[in-house]
Amino acid sequence: MNPFPLQLLSWFDKHGRKQLPWQHNKTPYRVWVSEIMLQQTQVATVIPYFERFMTRFTDLPALAAAAEDEVLHLWAGLGYYSRARNLHRAGKKVMAELGGIFPDTLDALLTLPGIGQSTAGAILSIAFNKPTPILDGNVKRVLARFHGIREPVNDKGVEKKMWELATQYTPAKRVADYTQAIMDLGATLCTRAKPNCAACPFAHDCVAYAENCVHELPAKKAVKKIPVRSATFLLARHRDNILLCKRAASGIWGGLWSLPEFSGEPDKKQLRQFCQREFGVLFDELQVLETFRHTFSHYHLDIHPVAITLKRLPAKVMEDERQIWYNPRKPSAIGLPKPVQLLLSKLE
């Protein structure tokens, strides 16, 4: 075996994480759900979501049979909601087209929504113990520092080189432990900020450590400064109920229930026109709430909440699959974006 995995596995045996919930009662289904949740999300954040998800959707048939609203409800707050929609779609596909048997080959996994090459590699290595490389953010960071790769790791040519290194290091034996070990190393020692090089098993062989450039790597192509947008969110209340609208399946918060909104900051004239146009009613009371910012991966959104009270039901609003009256005191199992959850709690 190559010295790199030997050294890494020796470290993992002493210091690796072995009590994560998806490491116990290990099944392809549990590994798959955990890997999707862990995409761009830290372990500590994922754990409570994973446990709640597994309590409700104990196996793949339970997930596939569920309504999308319920899946999104249990995902609410975890972010990147396309992951939840793809997870649900993939579960349905496995049940309908693969006889309920979760696939154990790279080609088959790559046909499922939401699974790319690195996620497929993690599933194959951890769930099926098949020697398949991964290249997530943690692994890129470890390899870039260990080899002193100064070129941007998000460059296609450099990424190809890193896949070759990841393949070279992936052992034929103990591949599940190795995959967990290299992710653990990046998550606990070779971290983006404040890496603990003194405790790293590769400190003496690491090029970045030897050349005192650990904090400079991995390098990335310069990204544009993300823009700031603003939107007015309308909390339209009739008695104890708040009007919610279902967002389109694609795009930000796809498939979730959100508040009526329009672009820009609140303006009383614009608010009246919006309410008359959308609901066929004028509001009776208005309260401008505190503005706050929610950050997506590619822009900041400044949210300007406005609460209005309606004495009668709007003529144009009828409950259907796209809009509902929601009682925060008796919450139903629907997917709500984190900012909307926050606003509803403040309104109470």
- Tell me the β-bridge partners of 288: 306
- Helices and strands (H, E) in the chain, number of each type: 14, 8
Greatest alpha-carbon pair distance for the chain in Å reads 74
User: How far, in Å, are 39, 41, 318 from residue 79 at the CA level?
Assistant: 10, 9, 29
State how far the Cα of 199 lies from the Cα of 202, in Å rounded to an integer. 9
Evaluate whether 31 touches 22 at the Cβ level (below 8 Å).
yes
Annotated active-site residue in 35, 151, 265, 278: 35
C-alpha to C-alpha distance for 251 and 16, rounded to whole angstroms:
37
State the Cα angle at 71 between 65 and 77, rounded to 5°.
Answer: 170
Amino acid at 119: T
Active site residue 319: no
Rounded Cα distance between 330 and 185, Å, is 44
Give dist(CA 216, CA 211) in Å, integer. 11
DSSP state of 233: E
How far the first Cα of the chain sits from its last, in Å, is 61
Return the residue matching tokens 């699959």: 321
Which residues are known catalytic residues? 35
